[in-house]
């Protein structure tokens, strides 16, 4: 038996801090998601700390965050109000079940959320991620039709180039081939609308593209093929993020809403990326003036600091489940961590931060400057399209012959290692979504670095 005294609290704190901020001795055991693991581990990009607009890597270098983490840290990093709220909550109540039990914060947060949402979306079902939000929304849509006596409505319509997370439901309605091809036939009864990316007609559009509203009529084509009585829901992103910022043409979302109403189809907006100020207003639904029946969210809900998602549910859909006996379970669905106290504390502090600093307005206030800055790269070598809306942007590059994606990935690596800038790439598209606390000098630096990297990358 050891006679050595246990380590002091300070020694333990120093030990944990060192683990969190230094390069690990081995990187073999962690199978990283959506990552070329062998390539990454040969030249790692390890982030150790963050504050405001910047990360620091394990070597102490400052990295300007051009992507709000992974589209999620909308209020920037290590914001004091959020840090304090989470620290206090874990010492007060670390976990509470929500199956036939409750704790205060999920109810408080839900009231705050429905105040932000478009009118009519007045109930919230909690999840832990965007993927879970999508699968939850799909299950609610199916159960809703069954509760109304239309249980034959089981078909889902997604969209090409759509990304709806990595659950089997989400990848089934999603339209990214690499996400789908590894996992077999996926869910039955799914079809897809055409995407709205039309570089030939809309290249270098500033804001929403002019051409393509007629693509909404794909919904009528699929209704004619499958019959409306079989279709449960249409799910689309108001702006597709993971596909490389694919924008809706003027009038497109409005027409989709009209056709769903005409045929009794539930409309689901996936606002995991566009929610919480990314395009101005709290949600893209409000910016575009189109209210869905269900709306999936996550990411910016807690500023990325604690995993959490939420599905906003219309009054009509929610009330369809309320006609049975009072003692009957409304919906046989949920997660152990639905409404987790730490996540709720983080979300409430995040909403306060957004409100105090009026961050939902930043995407509108800075949108013109952002647009001007990104479109200034139009004449650089290999640039074939630029897309933007709010504080989202995409620069599409021509692929190298026989090496699609290689040019953009090389720029991504060079930006990080040589210039201290974090961007994202998907294929040969550079995607940008900075924290909403971004200032003009940050925008200037982002695009100065990108201009140099694009110009000097063959």
Residue-wise pLDDT tens digits, 341-381: 999 999 999 999 999 999 999 999 999 999 999 999 999 99
Per-residue pLDDT of 11-63, as tens digits, reads 888 888 889 889 999 999 999 999 999 999 999 999 999 999 999 999 999 99
Angle at 304 between CA 298 and CA 310, to 5 degrees: 20
| Tokens 């081995």 sit on residue | 26
Q: pTM of the prediction? A: 0.96
- What are 132's two structure tokens? 């879970």
- Which residues, including other chains, have CB under 8 Å from residue 128's CB and lie 6 or more apart? 307, 308, 309, 335, 337, 338, 340, 343
pLDDT at 353: 98
Rounded Cα gap, residues 47 and 35, in angstroms:
15
Mean pLDDT of the chain: 96
Residue-wise pLDDT tens digits, 93-111: 999 999 999 999 999 999 9
- Of 7-11, 261-265, 383-387, 421-425, the poorest mean pLDDT is in 7-11
What is the pLDDT averaged over residues 149-168?
Answer: 97
Q: Residue 122 phi/psi, 5° resolution?
A: -115, 20
Residue 183 has pLDDT above 80, yes or no: yes
Rounded to whole angstroms, the Cα distance separating 161 from 246 reads 8
**Inter-residue contact 297 to 71 (CB < 8 Å):** no
The pLDDT of 238-255, averaged and rounded, is 97
Over residues 141-167, the mean pLDDT reads 97
Q: Pick the residue with more confidence: 399 or 2?
A: 399
At residue 3, does pLDDT exceed 80? no
Reported confidence tier of residue 2, pLDDT bands at 50, 70, 90: low
What per-residue confidence (pLDDT) applies to 12?
82
Asked if residue 125 has pLDDT above 60, the reply is: yes
pLDDT of 246 > 70? The answer is yes
The answer to whether residue 1 scores a pLDDT higher than 60 is: no
Q: How far is CA 183 from CA 34, 171, 180, 211, 426, in A?
A: 15, 9, 6, 35, 20
Q: Which residue has the higher pLDDT, 3 or 82?
A: 82
Question: Rg of the chain over CA atoms, in angstroms?
Answer: 23
Cα separations (Å) of 133 from 27, 146, 266?
Answer: 31, 20, 16
Asked if residue 5 has pLDDT above 80, the reply is: no
């Amino acid at each position: 038996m050891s006679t050595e005294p246990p380590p002091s609290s300070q020694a333990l704190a120093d030990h944990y801090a060192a683990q969190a901020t230094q390069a690990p001795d081995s990187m073999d055991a962690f199978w990283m998601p959506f990552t070329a693991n062998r390539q990454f581990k040969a030249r790692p990009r390890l982030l150790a700390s963050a504050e405001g607009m910047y990360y620091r890597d394990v070597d102490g270098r400052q990295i300007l965050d051009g992507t709000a983490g992974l589209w999620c840290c909308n209020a920037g990093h290590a914001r004091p109000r959020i840090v304090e709220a989470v620290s206090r909550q874990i010492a007060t109540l670390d976990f509470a079940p929500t199956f036939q039990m409750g704790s205060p914060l999920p109810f408080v947060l839900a009231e705050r959320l429905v105040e932000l949402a478009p009118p009519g979306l007045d109930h919230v079902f909690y999840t832990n991620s965007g993927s879970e939000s999508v699968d939850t929304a799909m299950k609610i849509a199916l159960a809703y039709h069954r509760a109304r006596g239309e249980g034959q409505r089981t078909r889902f319509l997604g969209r090409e180039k759509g990304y709806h997370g990595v659950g089997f439901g989400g990848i089934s309605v999603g339209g990214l081939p690499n996400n789908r091809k590894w996992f077999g036939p996926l869910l039955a009864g799914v079809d897809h609308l055409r995407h709205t990316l039309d570089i030939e007609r809309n290249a270098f559009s500033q804001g929403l593209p002019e051409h393509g509203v007629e693509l909404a009529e794909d919904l009528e084509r699929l209704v004619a093929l499958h019959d409306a009585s079989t279709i449960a829901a249409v799910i689309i992103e108001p702006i597709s993020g993971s596909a490389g910022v694919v924008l809706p043409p003027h009038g497109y979302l409005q027409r989709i809403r009209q056709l769903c109403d005409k045929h009794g189809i539930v409309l689901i907006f996936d606002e995991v990326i566009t929610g919480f100020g990314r395009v101005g207003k709290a949600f893209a639904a409000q910016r575009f003036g189109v209210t869905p029946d269900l709306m999936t969210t996550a990411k910016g809900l807690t500023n990325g600091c604690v995993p959490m998602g939420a599905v906003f549910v219309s009054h009509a859909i929610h009330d369809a489940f309320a006609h049975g006996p009072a003692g009957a379970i409304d919906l046989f669905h949920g997660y152990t961590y639905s409404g987790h106290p730490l996540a709720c504390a983080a979300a409430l502090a995040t909403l306060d931060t957004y409100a105090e600093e009026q961050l939902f307005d930043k995407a509108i206030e800075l949108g013109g400057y952002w647009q001007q800055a990104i479109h200034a790269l139009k004449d650089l070598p290999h640039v074939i399209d630029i897309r933007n809306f709010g504080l989202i942007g995409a620069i599409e590059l021509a692929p190298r012959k026989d090496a699609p994606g290689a040019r953009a990935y090389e720029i991504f690596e060079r930006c990080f290692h040589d210039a201290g800038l974090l961007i994202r790439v998907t294929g040969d598209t550079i995607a940008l979504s900075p924290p909403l606390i971004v200032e003009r000098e940050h925008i200037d630096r982002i695009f100065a670095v990108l201009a140099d990297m694009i110009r000097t990358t063959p």
